[in-house]
């Protein structure tokens, strides 16, 4: 950066700028002489230009560092969320229609049953692994042993061949008498016989080793494909029995949600929400218009948890067709199939917009009340609703007939309540 000369002292460079708010001097740019003559009384407000730019460079570098750190953390978070979503959707889709209703099975009994099955499968898998390991180790040791013995025989043959060559050279090159020639010939014949014998021994040893291998192989545990298939089938079967636990542990929660209201409802104040838009409370009745929707559609395998803060005279939670409810102005009319709701109410009834309402067919005598936690799980063609009292599951119901591809969609979580009702969305 080029530094200009002071306009009052041409021989000196500008080195500072005065930052005092009400400085009496005409120019705020100052050289050393200006500081001594005009800014000495408030020199603490004079900022050296070089130091100022160093501070700015430091701040800029620090900001870039912080931005990079925040960006990296955001990318890591997004990758974790994507992995969880991928894992959840793959697990749930494999078991689309295989979920078994377990009303009469207590959670602790289910846990024991699951652990026993998983433990049994692990034992069987370990048994198969041990068998395969023994087989592989035996094969490897046998192979190494044969290779070693063959190498030893080859070495012996090479040594014998060297002796024969040496004997032949002596026989052909040396001048010896007949007696010596006879002796050399005998030695040559003996060496050749030894090589032939060693070849026979090698062949006999190989034959015996193959025979021993066949005998030993009979006693080595063999991999049983039927056993492997049986284990695989058992793994598939237990998924249907523990599917609820899997969804509970790794299911994707929707997290913080916003409520969406029809303008007419919002204007008349039928509902109110807390400041963080996670609590819905009934204010006054406006005919049968008493629906509230969560704005974000619920995807396959996802769940929403509703805490019943106050039950009131009527409370219902579940899912519904967003466009269908909006088109009907949020009217709740159980005889009208267009209202678009699939939910379970606190008075023990299942409400299904695809079926005409019947007290005898839709009443199951199980209810939830103030303090209960209601978990709504969307599983494609049906919704599963679990009711929990603290850590104990009270019961679950299943409402079928949902069309995921309906033109009245998308599928969204719904709340339907009357006087004195209050519900809170739970994040976990």
275 shares its domain with 179: no
User: Quick one: 88 and 125 in the same domain?
Assistant: no
- Do 417 and 364 have their domain in common? yes
pLDDT of residue 282: 57
> Looking up tokens 């919704």, which residue turns up?
383
pLDDT at 248: 44
Same domain, 291 and 399: yes
Is the separation of the CB atoms in 243 and 303 below 8 Å? Answer: no
Range of the domain at 118: 107-226
Assess if residue 100 is contained within a domain: no
In a domain, 242, yes or no: no
Tell me the CATH number at 355. Answer: 2.60.120.920
Whether residues 410 and 271 fall in one domain: yes
Torsion sign (Cα): 406, 407, 409, 415? negative
Q: Tokens 């805490």 label which residue?
A: 307
Q: In terms of Cα–Cα distance, which of 266, 267, 318 is closest to 294?
A: 318
Per-residue pLDDT tens, the chain, 428 aa: give them: 566 788 888 888 888 888 888 888 888 888 988 888 888 888 888 888 888 888 888 888 888 888 888 888 878 887 877 777 777 676 666 665 555 554 445 566 667 767 777 777 777 777 777 776 776 777 677 667 767 766 666 666 556 556 656 655 655 555 555 556 667 667 767 777 777 777 777 777 777 776 766 665 555 555 556 666 666 666 656 654 554 444 444 333 333 344 444 443 332 334 454 444 456 665 554 555 566 776 678 888 888 888 888 887 778 888 888 887 777 766 666 555 556 778 778 888 877 777 766 666 677 778 888 889 999 998 988 899 999 987 788 888 888 888 888 888 788 888 877 767 788 877 65
Nearest-CA neighbor of 257 among 81, 79, 412?
412
- Structural domain total, the chain: 3
What separation, in Å, do the N-terminal and C-terminal C-alpha atoms of the chain show? 55
Say whether both 204 and 66 belong to one domain: no
Please tell me the distance from the alpha carbon of residue 358 to that of residue 364, in angstroms, as a whole number.
12
What torsion, rounded to 10 degrees, do the Cα atoms 295, 301, 304, 308 define?
140
Within this chain, do residues 304 and 390 fall inside the same structural domain, yes or no? Answer: yes
Do residue 270 and residue 407 come from a single domain? yes
Specify the pTM: 0.38
270, 406: one domain: yes
Give kind and range of the element (H or E) at residue 263.
Answer: helix 263-268
Structure confidence at residue 384 (pLDDT): 92
């Amino acid at each position: 950066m080029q530094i200009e000369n002071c306009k009052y002292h041409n021989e000196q460079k500008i080195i500072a700028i005065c930052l005092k708010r009400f400085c009496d001097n005409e120019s705020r740019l100052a050289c050393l002489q200006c500081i001594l003559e005009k800014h000495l009384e408030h020199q603490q407000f004079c900022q050296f230009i070089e130091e100022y730019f160093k501070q700015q460079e430091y701040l800029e570098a620090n900001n870039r560092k912080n931005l990079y750190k925040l960006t990296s953390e955001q990318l890591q978070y997004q990758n974790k969320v994507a992995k969880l979503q991928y894992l959840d959707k793959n697990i749930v889709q494999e078991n689309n229609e295989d979920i078994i209703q377990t009303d009469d099975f207590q959670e602790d009994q289910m846990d024991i049953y699951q652990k026993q099955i998983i433990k049994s499968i692990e034992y069987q898998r370990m048994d198969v692994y041990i068998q395969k390991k023994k087989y592989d180790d035996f094969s490897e040791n046998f192979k190494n042993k044969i290779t070693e013995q063959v190498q030893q025989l080859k070495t012996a043959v090479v040594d014998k061949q060297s002796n024969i060559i040496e004997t032949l050279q002596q026989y052909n090159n040396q001048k010896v008498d007949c007696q010596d020639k006879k002796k050399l010939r005998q030695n040559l014949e003996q060496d050749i016989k030894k090589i032939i014998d060693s070849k026979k021994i090698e062949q006999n040893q190989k034959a015996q080793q193959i025979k021993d291998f066949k005998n030993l192989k009979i006693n080595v545990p063999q991999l049983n494909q039927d056993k492997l298939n049986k284990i695989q089938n058992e793994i598939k079967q237990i998924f249907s029995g523990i599917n609820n636990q899997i969804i509970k542990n790794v299911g994707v929660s929707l997290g913080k949600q916003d409520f969406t209201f029809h303008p007419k409802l919002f204007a008349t104040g039928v509902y109110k929400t807390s400041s963080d838009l996670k609590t819905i409370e009934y204010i006054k009745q406006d005919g049968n218009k008493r629906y509230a929707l969560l704005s974000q559609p619920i995807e396959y395998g996802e769940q929403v948890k509703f805490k019943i803060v106050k039950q009131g005279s009527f409370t219902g939670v579940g899912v519904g067709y967003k466009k269908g409810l909006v088109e009907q102005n949020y009217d709740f009319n159980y005889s009208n199939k267009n209202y678009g709701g699939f939910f379970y109410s606190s008075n023990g009834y299942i409400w299904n917009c695809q079926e005409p309402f019947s007290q005898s067919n839709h009443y199951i005598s199980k209810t939830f009340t103030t303090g209960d936690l209601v978990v709504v799980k969307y599983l494609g063609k049906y919704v599963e609703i679990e009711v929990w009292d603290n850590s104990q599951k009270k019961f679950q119901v299943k409402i079928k007939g949902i069309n995921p591809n309906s033109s009245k969609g998308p599928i969204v979580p719904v709340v339907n309540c009357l006087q004195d009702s209050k519900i809170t969305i739970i994040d976990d």
